[in-house]
Structure 1
Amino acid sequence: MRNIKLTLEYDGTNYCGWQRQINGISIEETLEKVIIDLFEEDIKILGSSRTDSGVHARGQVVCFKTKSTIPTHKIPGAINSRLPRDIVVVYAEEVDMDFHPIYSTKGKMYSYRIINRKMEPALMRNYYWHVGYNLNFEHMQKAATYFIGEHDFSSFKSQGGSTKDSIREIYSLNLTKDGDYITVTIEGNGFLYNMVRIIVGTLIDVGRGRIPYDSIGDIIKSKDRRRAGITAQAHGLYLEKVYY
C-alpha cells in the first residue's frame, strides 16, 4: 500500500467548494471520481483545506492510499488527462503512511486579491473582489500589524465551524498595492471558518474609515464577531500553500 500526496491548483468559480455537497459539484467529488476510475480501486481522498464555493487554490494538498504500482512521476499527467481544465495536479509524491493532509499541517498561507476602482472589472471579476470605495491604504497597513501574534480570534470567525478552540497564531500579514490592485498575504498556524475573509473585510472597513485602525486590538480582545468588519467575498481568496 502506498500513500500518495498531491498538490493541486484549481479555479473554484464553477464549484460549490472543495467538500462534497448535495447541492452542486465539488472539487473533491470531481477529483475523487477521476482517481477511482484511473486506479480502479475504492479510493477516498483527503484534502488539507475545505475551501468554500468560489475560492481558488494554488497549493491545496490531497492524499490517498493505493495498491497501484503506477510510477509517482506519471500520476499527475495521468490524472490531469481526465480532469476538467480548471483543476490541475501540479505535483505528486509518495509519503509515509502516517502522513495526514490535515493533522500533519504546521501552517498555511492564503492570499486575497482586491481591485479598488470605481468601475467593476470585466476580465478579472471571478478572481478579484471589486471595492468601489476610496481606501486609506496606509491605515489598512497599520491595522494589519495588530493581527500578528497569537490571539483568540473569536471576533473573526463565522458560525458553523467545527473547531472549539479559537486561538491561532498569525505569523505575517502583508498588504501590497500596484495601481488599482491590492493583495493581502497572510500566514499562520491555522485559520478559523471564514477567518481570512473577515480579516480582509475588516481591513476594507478600516480603509473606508468605518473602523479606526487602532481599534483592532480591542476588537480582538472583545471576542465579539459583531465588532469586526464584513466578510469579504469568496472569489478573491486563494489557498497558496500548506506547510508540513
Structure 2
Amino acid sequence: MTANQKKILFGTTMLIVSALAIRYLLAPQAIAENPPMPAPTPDLYGCVAPPSAVFTKLGVDISVASASYSKLVLGKIDVKTDPGVIDLVGKASREATVRDYLRCLAVARDKFTLEQASYTDRFNAFMATNPTPDQFIQWQKENPFPRTLVVTTPTVVACSRLSVTAEWQGVSSPEQKQSCEYSAPPNCTIISTSIQPHSDSNGSNAVSVAPDSRSLKATVTARPHGSFADRKRGWIDITVNASLRCEA
C-alpha cells in the first residue's frame, strides 16, 4: 500500500469515527432518576408534622408547641405566670407549615369546629406580632374564642323532703306551713317542676317560679281535720324536683 493510499484510508477511518462520535453525543441519553422521596407519615390524628429541622430552626419543641397551642387559644394558660408560652407559640405561628400542622391538630385532636379553626387564623396573625402578656390578654378579651353551645336539660332535687305537720290547739285547728327556696346555677334556667309525694293527710302544696326562671319557692300547708272530739292531725311530706335548661 502506497503512502497516498495509507493517507486516504486513515482519513476515511477518522471520518467514520467522528461521525459515530457525533451520533452518540446527539443521541438521547438515559437520565438517572433521583430516588423518590418517602411520603410523609401522618401522626396518630392524621396530621403531617413538618420536618424536625423546621422546629430546630425555630427553636421550638414540637411536643411542647402542640400541647400548648390549643390551651393558649382556649385561654387555659395564665400568661402572667407563664409568659414563655407566648414566645413559644409566637415562634410557631410565624412558620406556615407549623401553623398548618397545629391547625390540623386543633380540628382532629381537640375537636375544633370550622368556625373555631378559622379563629386560629386570626390568632396566629396576632401571635406572629410577638405580643406582651398584657397585649395578649387584651386581644383575647376583644376577640373571644367562639364557644360551642352545649345545652343540657338535667332534673335536680330542688327541695328534699319538704314537710309540715299541723295539730289541734285547744278548740282551734290552725294550719301550718313550711317553705323552701331553690336557685338554679348561673348558666341554667328552670323550665318545669314536679312533685314527688311521700305522705299526705289533709295537706297541700304550691310551687312558684320567679319571672326570670332562675329560682323557685315551694310551700307545703297542713291542716288538722276531723272534729273536736277525734282531733286528727294533718301533714304533708313531698320532694320538689326541677327540670333545668343549662348552657355551657
Structure whose CA Rg is larger = 2
TM-score normalised by structure 2 residue count:
0.24
Give the strand-richer structure, 1 or 2.
1
TM-score (norm 1): 0.25
